[in-house]
Structure 1
Amino acid sequence: MPIYMRKLLFVILLICFHTSLYAQTNNVLLSRVLRQVQLYPQEKTYVFTDAESYQAGQRIHLRVFLVNAVVHQADSISRYVYVELLNPERLVVKRVRLLRSDQGFVGHIDIPEGVVKGRYVLRSYTKNMLNLSRYESMKSIFIGGHGRLTPSKYSNSLNREEANNSINLLINVLKKGIKVSIDNLSDSSEDDYRLFVHCRSIPLYFGKISKEKDVILSYDSLSQGGIYSFQLLDTKLNKVAERLKFVYPEKELCPISVRWTDGEKLNNNQIPCIIKADSLREGETMDVSVRVEYAGVDNTVGQSDIISHLLFDMDKADCPEEPSSVCLESEPDSLLDNCNWSRYRMSDVIKGECKKGLIGVEKSAVIRGRVETLIGHKPIKDGVVNLISPDKSFYVVTKTDAQGRFSFEGIDFPEGTQYVLNAFTKAGKSWVKLLLDEDEYPSYKGQLPPFVWTSNDTTRVDATLELPKGGIQMEEVNVFSHQPTYSSRSDAYSRTADFSFGLRDIESIGATCLHELLRRVPSVTVEFGKCYVRGGFTVGGRRPAAIAIDGIFVNEDYDLDNIQMADVERVDVFKGGSTVIWGAIGGMGVISVTTKKGDFKAASVPLTNTKTFTTLGYQIPQGYTPNARTPMWLPSLRGASFRLLFPAEYRSTYRLIIEGVTSEGRIVHYTGEIGR
């Protein structure tokens, strides 16, 4: 049994001794909750970066904390984490794939040169997390200046259950507990209700409640901290009303102390600093990331942190990110009004309706596809498929099944690894069509958290400038494009396109194939090698977008993988009214590909049984180069205490940031100027 399952079982059993759960109902609830957690294990991610503000062309160093969503322990199940850099238009600028290592999930993202000033977002997820929509893992960063987030009450209208307006649940926090009462606004005589309380799917109370009988939950019986769900149920366990309340976050925290030992000042002018958590339990250890940052660059006010992220952001639907202040003040109550909590499906689970996630846990990299005949597109059974990696001297072979499908599992190689895939019939004939399954990545359709600029200072604190004799240092000049970076419109066709990717954009994005590039465009989907704009539905059925290469339309079965990205100069996407320049054939949208030679002939690129491609391999962590902005970045420290050495000059102008989790799932967060 995984560690987090053992802890969940222990917590639930402990709660049973402190609450008035009915014995029979308690056993049923316990069994259903544990079954749901086993069938549908959920995860949360949090990105810790080496800074909050950057400049174009700089590198973002990051560490992703992956924890179980219920108990916040790092003993999670996925082997890979994906991190994307989204621009202000919510388009993916960069995407990396991180493999779990001894340091955790550590990597970096290089910001392309020339990107526009704005608030960008780091979105992190695992394939398992894609089973759940509306619960995003977002981390804001600022490029070209400094900013701060502002609290916002997000609309929670998508699939929101309509509450029974005739009955209200009233939640009042007392000195030693919480009082729950019913405000029945109607004259209904029904008074047989049950109150069900849970925090992150852990049941904390189940019992009768009425208008005349309130329920008071003692502080000791509420072992969790964060968002609590108070559900009013009828006799058939149907939800009548629900209220969310953010309470007792301190129960989830592990406070730490930072102590300077000035008396031990070393000969190299360094001062030891002791980082310790006095409240650690027996056998409990910390897993944290540490950075020392220039205190004059960013103000921590208006930033989100690991506390607000794990306890609030990722447990509230349609709330991608809030500043850390929401957990310290009374703001959570107003932000949680009229919201319900569908993440853990507890309304279904208490009635025994447990289900499994549709997307399996990613435990290894997989390359999949199918082989079919050139005429009739019939699947080829027992076909031979070879996978070769010249870079890694790797070779493996497999056969297709009755549907012509094949798969290679355990393909764990770094990013940039090139593969060659070829297929043959059982008799060794090469006249087959080889189709490669494209990796699916979710598009972001949610709201971005509001923010305000606090400073337009774009001075690069990590840059040095040596003036020649007699030279004069001028004020820094910043030039920002007013067009999104994907716009490279040099002719009449591209100027009318809805989205364009120029050569510089294609190179900076680093897409390995045209399908991966097109998935970054809103309303464009790729399914089985075909591209659809806005769904592609017509009266006659679903139709893909038309493909034009150097102005020549190709047939519907043409595989864009036949075009190597090294040969592409520009890609233009036309949808809606912009397709009129292409005539009737462009009714369902047009994807125009311009090659560098510009002399494409459809007959010159026949369908083949061979494909050369690269996948989104895992990223190899790179060493960190200290700079004036962040002179120290330690992505992974594990233990009960740490002893770090800091130069004495850090104590006047630098700030210490520590974040992470303990082995028991408690959250570690510390922010303080080093000199204090």
Structure 2
Amino acid sequence: MKTHSLTPVYMRKLLFVILLVCFQASLFAQTNNVLLSRILRQVQLFPQEKTYIFTDAENYQAGQRIHLRVFLVNAVVHQSDSISRYVYVELLNTERLVVKRVRLIRSDQGFVGYIDIPEGVAKGRYVLRSYTKNMLNVSQYESLKSIFIGGQGKLQSNKYRNSLDDINNNTYSLLDINRLENNVRVKVNDNKNAINTDYLLLIHCRSIPIYFGKISREKDVILNYDSLSQGGVYSFQLLDANLNTIEEKLKFLYPEKEQCPISVECFEDDQVNKGQISCFIKSDSLREDETMDVSVRIEYAGASSSDVNSSILSHLLYDMDVADCPEEPVSVLLNNKTEQLLDSCHWTRYRMTDVIKGECKKGKIGVEKSAVIRGRVETLIGHKPIKEGVVNLISPDKGFYAVTKTDVYGRFSFEGLDFPEGTQYVLNAFTKAGKSWVKLLLDEEDFPSYKGQLPPFEWIGNDTIRVDATVNLPKGSIQMEEVNVFSHQPSYSSRSDAYARNADFSFGLRDIESIGATCLHELLRRVPSVTVEFGKCYVRGGVTINGKRPAAIAIDGIFVDNNFDLDNIQMADVERVDVFKGGSTVIWGTIGGMGVISITTKKGDFKTPSVPLTNTKTFTTLGYQIPHRYTPNTHTPVWLPSLRGKSFRLLLPTEYGLNYRLIIEGITSEGRIIRYAGGLRK
């Protein structure tokens, strides 16, 4: 794996902060230099990232489109990061299953795209999850954004209310940290030892060291406000002489240090643009050469407050620096219990406990610079790898052609691919001698499932009327009373026969079309307890004395051979997929003991003998999404996903001045966070 280089601006900022520590910390110079070099090495080996999703609204209806922009920043200094080329965004339903997944590519506007909400989805709180492949190296640090479908919702901040009793009855703690008006005092309560013991204290914020030196019962450490260069979650680690961590405590300190305040001035221009409002957005605190990169939306104010849900401020400073704390509302930054709640959390993102001992590691998953297609070629009999086999990749609609050879393990890869979603590919493989009697296997993209807990919420409004369009009645027309249309058609076409009605999980035609899966393997990965390994599907618990056995595959009610390749079935031909596991498999007889995956085609007469094992595959991958033009609506008339510069001017209709509010979020080139929510009054 290659070592990833860091952006020059980011390195200059990081080095400046670390050099500043060298002058303000009282410590042994040799130990300090070793620690700083280890931290720098870890940051270079493993550059971490954070994402935040800014949407055109927070409340939607079924069938609407979610327009969004993803901010990708470096996890340490919050500057715009150019390491990863792609960002993935998923819409999770109330059962934490993926409803939609899109892949966004970096453009001049950043990562901008959309997700269509399927028609007929149930009312509830849904979650947008965003990540890069590089972010998958760190577990328990999810990037989530709650949205509400069918009503107006409000996040609740007491996510750790069950652990507050444990905090109040906390066991004996060595570290005593008190935040005063202009400084922070750290004491050691080592009353159990009669002899005064010297410890080492490491204080860091997002892996940037703030202090490293000696501390004892007789010697407190006092940090004044000006010496703290960062704001957010701080880690206080008490170490012994061998740099072993004895105790760690987290505190949320001085978030204002990470903010860039902006001002919005609106006034009506009677001379040039009559009937319109000029809205000026600027910041008097911008430094030399510092610019803003923001997203803007103007939304109908309604009854909900702009601080009831999460923001870029709470997300980057709090949520994504605390393990298993996926999302908190903006108000958590103003809550006096925030620091108490942190006592029940832990922090493993930056691996500081291991780094200070010299254990620097890379991420196991490399940074994604381009799309990659991988697979392997093996013999039809014996499934042995074919060395130096020839593999051709063709994209008919893009006019693309490439060729490569397999290695000693029969594996091949095509890198540098960069095509939009829906691009079709054709792969074919041959032996070194040009023989076509080989089996071609394609690696499926592995996307992680979400297993964490979702933050609590409550409904504050019952928004059941679609607001993406208005109806203007012409003269002479009559407005009819509301008409309700009821259908007797089953909600899922997959429940139409006796077998399907007993299935544990089903995808009907409507589900398959709304998900947009490119192959059956991708669809089946969404089913809980079903895994896909080397092209075969396994149901959890499907283990015999001979090891794991794949689930049985039935196509139009007929079982196929275990070696049957599901890629031979195109998604356009599939009408229904039913998964049977546990007791429901009894209707299939003894062959269904390890689980059954039943596939029903649209024609219903799939002939497996007519599709022999072949050296050719036709498929589509999850290509990058092409942004679509935004259509204003009465709920969000203005959506500007990307504005860059030192100041901005918006020209708006006068009617926006009373019942609408302006939401601005983003970051500066120096990594400071921008957050504004207010009205548009003059």
- For the residue of structure 2 that corresponds to 1:426, the secondary structure is coil
Q: Percent identity of the aligned residues?
A: 75
Aligned to 2:372: 366
Aligned to 2:551: 545
Gaps of 5+ in 2: 1-5, 164-168
User: What is the CA distance between 1:6 and its match in structure 2?
Assistant: 2.2
Contact 2:300 2:659 in 1 (8 A): yes
Q: Which residue of 2 aligns with 1:608?
A: 614
CA pair 301-526 structure 1, distance change in 2 beyond 3 A: same
Distance change (3 Å), C-alpha of 1:245 and 1:156 = farther
C-alpha distance in 2 between matches for 1:105 and 1:471:
46
Aligned residue in 1 for 2:675: 669
How far apart in 2 are the matches of 1:119 and 1:478? 26
Residue 572 to residue 475, structure 1, CA distance change in 2 (3 Å): same
Tell me if structure 2 keeps the 8 A contact 1:315–1:343: yes
Q: In structure 2, do the counterparts of structure 1 residues 561 and 188 end up closer, same or farther at CA, with 3 Å as the change threshold?
A: farther
TM-score (norm 1): 0.95
In the TM superposition, residue 595 of structure 1 has moved relative to its aligned partner by 1.2
CA contact (8 A) 1:264 1:272 kept: no
8 Å contact kept, 2:27–2:212: yes
State the distance in 1 between where 2:194 and 2:438 align: 71
User: Paired residue for 2:29?
Assistant: 23
1:524 aligned to 2:530? Answer: yes
Structure 1 vs Structure 2 CA RMSD: 2.2
Q: Which is worse superposed, 28-37 or 530-539?
A: 530-539
Where does residue 478 of structure 2 map in the other structure?
A: 471
Task: Indicate the residue corresponding to 1:436 in structure 2.
Answer: 442
Alignment: residue pair count: 669
Question: Counterpart of 1:360 in structure 2: which amino acid?
Answer: G
- Code of the residue aligned with 1:672 in structure 2: it is G
Which residue, 49, 55, 64 being the options, matches 1:49?
55
2:246 counterpart (240, 257, 273): 240
Kindly report which structure 2 residues correspond to 1:205-244, keeping only aligned pairs within 5 A, or say none: 205-244=211-250
Return closer, same or farther for 1:639/1:476 CA change in 2, 3 Å cut-off. Answer: farther
Question: 1:466: Cα distance to partner?
Answer: 4.2
- Greater mean alpha carbon deviation, residues 212-221 or residues 529-538: 529-538
| 3-state SS in 2 of match to 1:17 | helix
Aligned partners of 1:156, 1:6: CA distance in 2, in Å?
Answer: 43
1:174 aligned residue (161, 175, 180): 180
Q: Residue 121 of structure 1: which of 118, 124, 127 is its match?
A: 127
- Where does 1:399-548 land on structure 2 (aligned, <5 Å)? 399-467=405-473, 469=476, 471-472=478-479, 474=481, 488-534=494-540, 536-548=542-554
Task: Name which of 152, 159, 170 aligns with 2:158.
Answer: 152
Structure 1: runs of 5+ lacking an equivalent: 158-162
> Deviation per CA, 1:537-590, whole angstroms, max 9, x where unpaired?
433212222211122222222111111111111101112222222233222222
CA separation in 1, counterparts of 2:541 and 2:257? 47
**Contact kept? 1:65, 1:660, Cα under 8 Å:** yes
Which residue does the alignment assign to 2:322?
Answer: 316
Distance 1:442 1:34 in 2: 29
Change (3 A) 1:314 1:487: farther
Which whole-Å CA distance do the structure 2 matches of 1:242 and 1:370 have between them? 47
Contact persistence 1:116–1:480 (CA under 8 A)? no
* Distance in 1 separating the partners of 2:152 and 2:321: 28
Number of the residue aligned with 1:593: 599
Aligned twin of 2:300: 294
**Cα 1:23–1:642 shift into 2, 3 Å:** same
Partner Cα separation in structure 1 for residue 609 and residue 270 of structure 2: 77
The residue identity in structure 2 corresponding to 1:43 is: E
2:231 corresponds to which letter in structure 1? G
Contact 1:164 1:241 in 2 (8 A): no
Q: 2: distance between equivalents of 1:515 and 1:71?
A: 39
Q: Distance in 2 between matches of 1:49 and 1:487?
A: 33
Distance 2:250 2:484 in 1: 49
Distance 1:339 1:644, change over 3 A: same
The corresponding residue for 1:625 is 631
Greater CA deviation, 365-374 or 524-533?
Answer: 524-533
Residue 89 of structure 1: which of 83, 95, 99 is its match?
95
Letter in 2 for 1:216: I
- Would the aligned equivalents of 2:494 and 2:577 in 1 still touch at CA under 8 Å? no
Q: Secondary structure at the match of 2:409?
A: coil
Amino acid at match of 2:67: H
- Paired residue secondary structure (1:511): coil
Q: Which runs of structure 2 are paired with 1:269-284 in the superposition (5 Å)?
A: 269-284=275-290
Once the two structures are superposed, residues 440-498 of structure 1 have per-residue CA deviations (whole angstroms, 9 ceiling, x without a partner) of 100010111111011112222222234574634546979999x9x87841222212211
Q: CA deviation at 1:243?
A: 0.8
Shift of 1:600: 2.8
Alignment CA distance shift 1:486-1:79 (3 Å): farther
